[in-house]
Every structure is written in C-alpha cells, then in structure tokens.
Structure 1
Amino acid sequence: MGIEPGDDRPWILLPGTLCTGAVFDPFLDALGVPAGSRHVIELGQPEIADYLAPLLALSHDRAVICGFSLGAIVAAHLVDCLPAAQCLFFGLNPRPDDPVKRQGRLDLAADVDRLGGIAALESRLPSLAGPDPDGGRARILAMAGLAARHVHAQTRLALERPGAFHALSRAGMPITLLTGTRDEQAPLTLAQEAVAAAPMAKLAPLEGLGHYALVEDPRACADAVRLADDGQYATGGLGRLS
C-alpha cells in the first residue's frame, strides 16, 4: 500500500534510546504525514513483551509502523504478531545484543543518573553528517534530556533482547530497512541480515549518513521511503534497481 501525503492512516512511532517522538518529526514533515496521524509509543518499559498490547491497540491493516534504533528492535521482535500495511525500520540490529556492549550500556545509564541525559550523551555522540550537523546535534541532546527517565528500561531492553530473526521470518507485511552507509552502531551488514530473514523486505541504503540518519538528513530519508514505496529497491537485495 503506497504512502500518500495527507492520508489518515496511523503512523505508529517507536523512538530509540534517549530519544522522543521528535526524532521522527522532520522526516514525517517531509513526507507530509499529518501531526494527528502520529502516535508515539515511548520506550519506558523494560521487556519486549510489554509493547505488544500498545502496538495492537493502535495497529491495523492500514497502519505504518516506524521504528528507530531500539524502537525498531522492539517492533521487529513483535512484527509477526502485528497487523500493518508496512513497517519502516531505521538503524535496525536484528541480533541479540553484543556482550561487548554491556558495560558501555550500564555506564551510560549510570552517567544519566549522575549527570543527566544531555551531559551523559554529549561526549558519546558521534559526528553527524547532513546539511545541519549542529542543529541535528542540538535536537538529539534535547531529546536525551527529556527521555532520561526511561534509560534504565531502555538499557534492559537492549541487553536482554533475544534477537528478531524468527519474528522477521514470519512477518506478513512489507518491511523497508533504512540504514546509513556510515552507521557504525547498526551497519549495513546487519540490515542485510534482516532483509534476508523477512519474506517481503528490502534495504534502502542512506548514502553518507550515520546512525542518526533521521536527524541528519530527514528529507533524504523521506526520499528513500518514496523510492522504496515505488519499487525502486529490490526485495532481498542491496541498493536501487537499475
């Protein structure tokens, strides 16, 4: 089902760690999605299963489920249980969490408690691409301040997730994976693994963008979604069709 600007379908939005629904706003503005159609599910609960009921309450066969980073991970783990027209996953890692990242996640949560979300994330934030890196950085840090209260639930979600391949293999709707070619947190190889697992999935690489592609260049992300919706990316493949 194609994405039409201004239609009334619900967009169900799951933001990432230390993010709010504002991470999606410039991208959705570029797509022409009305504010009243945007429904944010905050990541304030510690287990994947905690999100099934809220997702089912909002989703139906015309809905678009859109997740970023940890939010994409949560949705991907439940995608085989959800009715939706399509899913858009930005920066998805479909694997269980790498044990090497455990201490870093715990240290971040401790620093959020000690310093607040802005100060804790500021030194950890990678360099950004796109037309306005400084503006993007300010947006990300502002969200971190607002979402700091959820950091322990988000840390547990990240650490304890089992991996989404089984759910992806049973997904009954089209899925588009959008990943920055400079994403070091969830690189293209992980998106390729997710695309290989899901029967109706395609990968849309976001050239020159990093993990925060949605913030770095929301218009490029919107353009990539339109191209994917028009069939310009191969199902199960990498890159645009010739």
Structure 2
Amino acid sequence: MFDGFLNALGVGPAQRYVVELDRPSVDDYQPIFDGLSEDTIVCGFSLGAIVAAHYADRMTAHHLVLFGVNPLADDPAKAQSRHDLAADVIRCGGAAALQARELEVHGPTPDVTREMVYEMANASANMIETQTQLALSRPGALPALSSACMPVISFTGSLDRSAPTVQGLAAAQSAPDGQFCALEGLGHFALIEDPHACAAALRHLMETHDAPAIHHHAD
C-alpha cells in the first residue's frame, strides 16, 4: 500500500518497517509502538491508521501520518457486512470477495488501482478473521489523539465514502498539534490511486509546519 508513496518521498527499503495487522485487539500492538526512536514517522492506512491512532498518546515519534482514518469506535450496524465479507474471503479468496461487491476507486488510473487492491486482498486473506475482530472491537481513538505526543497529519480522499472527510478532520482537530488535508479527486485508496499527489501533500504540510515564523518589525 505504501510503496509508491514512500518511493515518491525517497524513503529507501532499509528505512521502512511494516506492521502486519495479524493481531485481533488494539492492545496487542503495544510492543510494536513501545520505544520508537524520536525520528520515526509512523504512517497508517485505514485499519492500520486506526491502530496507530490509539497509540498517539503513548508512542515516541516525529510525526503520526494517517490516511483514511476513522477515529470513532466501529458502527455496530456494519458488523453483519463485515462478517459476511470475512466469510466470502474465507470461502473464495480476497479478490473474488471484493469483485462481488462495488469497489469504489478514483484517481488517474482506476483500473490499475483496482487490480492492486485485488492483489492485496488475496495476499492478506489469511488475516481476514483477525482483522474483522480488530475492526469490530476497537475503541474510539479520539481520547488518545487528544493527548498526542507528536504532530498528527490526517489525510482523507475528498471522494472517500468508507472513511469520509469529517472523520479525518475529527482526528486532526482532536490532536493538540493536528493538520488535516482533503486529497481532491481521490478516494479511500488515495495512497495507490495517486501516490505522488499524497507524497507532495505530506511534504508540503511538513515543510510549512516546520517553517520558522516570520516576524515583522515596525521601526
């Protein structure tokens, strides 16, 4: 999911650490976020962003960057559809389960994006039960974000209906040092819909955030 984005930022493979969502509870990920170096930039997408957001008040990091995050507890009305999807993935595979549903993608090359999502769905199919439990059982992340120990940057595709902009905005607004950016013309899979646009947006926000203040003097 992050490869094109990190390539665009010039982050080499040796500088990356991938966290697999193979644990059923948010609390199970604490060992991963304990003891991070202060120059670490933690990036999360969708369910991964949700997990990372829950540790905003406990991790030591330079920045927390969230894509397509819903900082609220899961909507109970979604439980049945989540269980149905998990059952279909187990029965016929990740790609086939998604192909039977409406997969909304945007950006300049939607067909390429769709195929990438199908490939990732197949690759992670063995974790669908764990990820479903994780999604259903998570508490809301707003309390953790409200005590975030680092700057928080939240991105949401302007066309994202899975995690609408209001949710990404809420994540940024709850943080003491939060920024929000709507990625115009992109959806939930913004990171692979247009990784260069995502990288440019992050670079811009980090540069403007860290720029020294300009003081005007009247003599």
TM range, smaller chain? over 0.9
How many residue pairs match? The answer is 209
Name the counterpart of 1:141: 118
Name the counterpart of 1:15: none
Name the counterpart of 1:202: 179
1:77 aligns with 2:58: no
2:173 partner amino acid: A
Whether the aligned pair in 1 keeps the contact of 2:103 and 2:114 (CA below 8 Å) is no
* Residue ranges of structure 2 left out of the alignment (5+ in a row): 210-219
* Residue ranges of structure 1 left out of the alignment (5+ in a row): 1-22, 233-242
Name the counterpart of 2:21: 43
Deviation at 1:54, TM superposition (A): 1.7
Deviation at 1:56, TM superposition (A): 2.1
**Secondary structure of residue in 1 paired with 2:148:** coil
**Secondary structure of residue in 2 paired with 1:80:** coil
Match of 2:158 among 158, 181, 186: 181
Whether the aligned pair in 1 keeps the contact of 2:56 and 2:148 (CA below 8 Å) is yes
Name the counterpart of 1:132: 109
Deviation at 1:127, TM superposition (A): 2.8
Name the counterpart of 2:190: 213
TM-score of the superposed pair, with normalisation by structure 2: 0.93
The Cα RMSD (Å) is 1.1
Structure 1 segments of 4+ aligned residues over 3 angstroms from their partners: none
Q: Select the structure of larger CA radius of gyration.
A: 2
TM-score of the superposed pair, with normalisation by structure 1: 0.84
**Secondary structure of residue in 1 paired with 2:87:** helix
1:68 aligns with 2:51: no
Asked which structure has the greater RCO (Cα within 8 Å, sep 6+), the reply is 2
**Secondary structure of residue in 2 paired with 1:178:** strand
> Percent of aligned positions with the same letter in both sequences?
47
Distance 1:31 1:77 in 2: 26
Distance 1:178 1:190 in 2: 10
2:37 partner amino acid: H
Deviation at 1:217, TM superposition (A): 0.5
